[in-house]
Structure 1
Amino acid sequence: MKDQEFAGELVKVPESKLFVRFQDCDPLGHLNNVRYIEYFLNAREEHTYKYYNMSLMELARQHQANWVVSNHQIAYLKPADLGATIYIQTRIIHFDNTTIVIEGLMLNKDKTKLKSLLWTTMRYVSLATGKPTDHPDDIMNMLELLDDNEIMFDPDGFQTRIKQITKHLKTLGE
């Protein structure tokens, strides 16, 4: 990933507009709990292509390493109903030599209500050994550019983060 060129202006909090489909819902007409994680992960993959001109598989081949999910923390706050338009925003809220934490927000169509919050922790793992390995310099530089420094990440602060977002969204609606 030499001299990574991002597509257009650097967007630290990209978003996708989605439609909640019948096939993804439970019998009550709500997005199935398992599908929330799929929606978040698919949105992040889309964001890396669309906003950062980056293929995760190309990076894996180049560096012989890739990120592997080691943990999800998710809160289901309001249902995403069948036929609803939702927005998913993602951002990097923490990284170190071997780990990244991605935050995903699922918002209603007006972006005034938080439906779900996801924190996904990923370890950078060698394809040869299957063990954690350090991010190479070019990836560390990229992560530094993409890290959302406005979010003070605390591994135990998931519930606090939900309150921060909810309070912020309330001020937008006033």
Structure 2
Amino acid sequence: MPSIFQHDIEVPRSAIDANSHVNNVSYVQWMQDAAVMHSSAQGLDAAAYRRLEASWVVRSHQITYLAPAFAGDTIEVRTWVANLKRSRSLRKFLFVRAGDGKEIARAQTEWVYVDAAGGRPCSIPPEVSSAFTLVSPDEEP
């Protein structure tokens, strides 16, 4: 599995806001969806995390919007893991409009690995950390 995961989205009309372009809330949803799909593709789906009795929760999101996207556009959502620390991970995203190759947004999410029972941060186990290949800044798209 490549270290940079890609998922394509055709922008639905329901993602369009009063300004006639994709609403910022849609990007956050797409980030979460891509992160979950990437994890599942690496063998860590919801059932795997239940067995590990742990989960990921978001600590923060940061999004920089570079160009608008519109209903019907196909958006390539690329995501990768930039770092894994004791109980945290930084995941980055690039949104590209497939039709013209235009970067429309860059984003990142800091995730915290937590114990499912108590919700407290816990150490990321080797079976989780070894599932992802870290992408260094000079390897990023």
What's the TM-score, normalizing by structure 1?
A: 0.73
Unaligned residue ranges in structure 2 (runs of 5+): none
Q: Does 2:113 correspond to 1:124?
A: yes
Aligned to 1:90: 79
CA root-mean-square deviation: 1.8
Q: In the alignment, which residue of structure 2 is the partner of 1:52?
A: 42
Check 1:72–1:105 CA distance in 2 against 1; reply closer, same or farther (3 A cut): same
Identity of aligned residues (%): 24
CA distance in structure 2 between the partners assigned to 1:78 and 1:87 by the alignment:
14
Deviation at 1:111, TM superposition (A): 6.5
Higher relative contact order (CA 8 A, sep 6+): 2
Equivalent residue for 1:73?
A: 62
Q: TM-score, normalised by structure 2?
A: 0.89
**What is the deviation of 1:54?**
2.9
For this pair of structures, how many residues does the alignment match? Answer: 140
Tell me the residue number matched to 1:103.
92
SS of 2:20's equivalent in the other structure is: coil
Pick one of 3, 7, 29 that aligns with 2:20.
29
Partner residue in 1 for 2:2: 11
- The residue identity in structure 2 corresponding to 1:41 is Q
- Distance in 1 between residues matched to 2:123 and 2:79, nearest whole Å: 23
Q: Distance in 2 between matches of 1:119 and 1:18?
A: 18
Deviations 1:8-52 (CA, angstroms, capped at 9, x unpaired): xx2111111211111111123200011111112112222333x32
- Which one has the largest radius of gyration? 1
- The structure 1 segments of at least 4 consecutive aligned residues displaced by more than 6 Å after TM superposition are none
Per residue, is there more helix in 1 or in 2? 1
